[in-house]
């Protein structure tokens, strides 16, 4: 499993974006997954998982823009078939912490991803995925959540269009998606990478491109979730390429050439 991150302590993402001596920060978290089909009789393959955390104000919207982009991220991608368990642990640990430490958790088509995560085979004796199970339960009625837990926003249903891709929702709300990952192109890229893993064609897996793809989705989801929750606003149109590239240029330099680093870094 390969990891890309700017977090000081990736295993505790909600305490590692700002310096520990600064005042406590409120966070909005977003999760995004990419899937691949490894063939008949094989379970779905998680081709990338991305977590993004963005600081938000307690009681008023925060204005964001690409030159001042600020977010923490952790992305993991498989380096071989059979790493679902490792990636699920990363996702589950982030959700366990996020439910208690984030103000909002945003996801696009959360119910679909969570259902598949819960159906994947587990090793005998493997622990229950408490974070995934809890968020899946909360997804059933997003208008109600337990006290002291994060609010859940499903961008595909709460903002629409319900059956669309995250790039469709982004376009409808003043965001300009990365052209490389719009609509079906994103899933096609993940599937090609999955087939390369199955065939052990390591040179065709393009982990950096996968990481950038899921990171673009996670950032878009975070911004959309923040808008729906009244926590984030921006001047339209806002380029996802510029916003992501300002913070995470090193994930896939060919995609972000010409994007200046964020002045907040």
CATH code where residue 149 lies: 3.30.420
74-107 pLDDT, tens digit per residue, is 999 999 999 999 999 999 999 999 999 999 999 9
Maximum CA extent, the chain:
52
Q: Tell me the C-alpha to C-alpha distance, in Å, between residue 150 and each of 58, 98, 129, 145, 177.
A: 13, 7, 18, 7, 26
> How many domains does one find in the chain?
1
Q: Judge residue 22's burial from the number of C-beta atoms within 10 Å of its C-beta, 0-12 exposed, 13-18 middle, 19 or more buried.
A: exposed
**Does 222 fall in a domain?**
yes
Backbone angles phi, psi at 145, to 5 degrees: -145, 155
What distance in Å separates the CA atoms of residue 133 and residue 96, rounded to the nearest whole number? 10
pTM: 0.93
CA distance 68 to 65: 6
**Residue at 262 is within a domain:** no
Nearest CA-CA partner of 107 in 150, 149, 146? 150
Residue 227 and residue 233 in contact, taking contact as beta carbons nearer than 8 Å = yes
Give residue-wise pLDDT tens across range 237-253: 999 999 999 999 999 99
pLDDT(47) > 50: yes
158 pLDDT above the threshold of 60 = yes
Look up the domain containing 51 and give its range.
2-255
Q: Residue 263: which pLDDT band, with cuts at 50, 70 and 90?
A: low
Q: What is the pLDDT of residues 100-157, one digit of tens each?
A: 999 999 999 999 999 999 999 988 777 889 999 999 999 887 777 778 899 999 999 9
Residue 261 lies in a domain: no
């Amino acid at each position: 499993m390969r990891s890309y991150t700017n977090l000081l302590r990736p295993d505790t993402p909600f305490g590692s974006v700002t310096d520990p001596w600064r005042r406590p920060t409120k966070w909005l978290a977003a999760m995004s997954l990419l899937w691949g089909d490894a063939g008949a009789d094989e379970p779905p393959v998680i081709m990338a998982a991305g977590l993004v955390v963005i600081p938000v104000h307690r009681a008023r919207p925060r204005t964001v823009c690409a030159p001042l982009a600020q977010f923490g991220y952790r992305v993991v991608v498989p380096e071989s078939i059979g790493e679902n368990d490792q990636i699920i642990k990363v996702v589950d640990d982030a959700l366990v912490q996020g439910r208690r430490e984030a103000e909002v958790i945003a996801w696009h088509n959360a119910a679909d991803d969570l259902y598949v995560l819960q159906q994947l085979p587990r090793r005998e004796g493997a622990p229950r995925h408490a974070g995934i199970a809890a968020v899946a339960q909360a997804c059933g009625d997003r208008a109600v959540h337990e006290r002291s837990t994060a609010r859940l926003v499903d961008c595909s249903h709460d903002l629409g269009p319900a059956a669309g891709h995250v790039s469709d929702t982004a376009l409808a709300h003043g965001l300009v998606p990365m052209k490389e990952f719009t609509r079906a192109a994103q899933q096609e890229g993940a599937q090609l990478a999955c087939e390369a893993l199955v065939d052990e064609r390591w040179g065709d897996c393009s982990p950096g491109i996968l990481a950038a793809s899921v990171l673009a989705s996670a950032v878009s989801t975070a911004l959309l979730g923040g808008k729906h929750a009244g926590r984030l606003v921006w001047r339209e149109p806002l380029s996802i390429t510029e916003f992501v590239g300002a913070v995470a240029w090193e994930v896939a330099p060919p995609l972000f050439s010409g994007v200046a680093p964020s002045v907040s870094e």
